[in-house]
Amino acid sequence: MSAARILVVDDNPTNLKLVSEVLEFEGYEILKAVDAEEAQRIIEQHRPEIVLIDIALPGMDGLTLTRKLKAEEKTKDLVIVALTAFAMKGDEQKARDVGCDGYITKPIDTRALPALVESVRRSGARGQRSGSLEAEPLAKSSA
């Protein structure tokens, strides 16, 4: 696996650290943002391969940012995965409707996260990001 650049966007310091450290351990280059505005600046400057974005962010929420990124020509192909505590019926569909390529629920299953990210990365690299990526079942903790 090459060192893909991943932007993790989460306003919760514990979640941000957990996801970042798990993926750094697997060899990914991690960029971090605590809100949508910071994420936009990082995307503009560093162009990550994947964005893992919390839905409930202060200010502009993750769904709004995803909608904006997918509407812009230069970022429309960015692979974006919702990273969220929202796990109610219909929440995944809302995320997909605005352009999210995957959906991971919290709490994060740290054992499954790297494989899930690599799966999203590979399908994104082939341009085959259909709405059928099943992230949620892998992300549920079994511990």
Residues recorded for the chain: 143
Q: pLDDT tens, 24-79?
A: 999 999 999 999 999 999 999 999 999 999 999 999 999 999 999 999 999 999 99
DSSP structure string for 43-79:
HHHH--SEEEEESS-SSS-HHHHHHHHHHSTTTTT-E
Mean pLDDT of 102-111: 90
pTM above the 0.75 mark?
A: yes
125 confidence band (pLDDT: 50, 70, 90): low
Domains and CATH numbers, the chain: 5-139 (3.40.50.2300)
Whole-angstrom distance, CA of residue 104 vs CA of residue 135: 5
Residue listed under structure tokens 């949620």? 136
Distance (Å, whole) CA 141 – CA 22: 15
Q: Which two three-digit tokens encode residue 125?
A: 């690299």
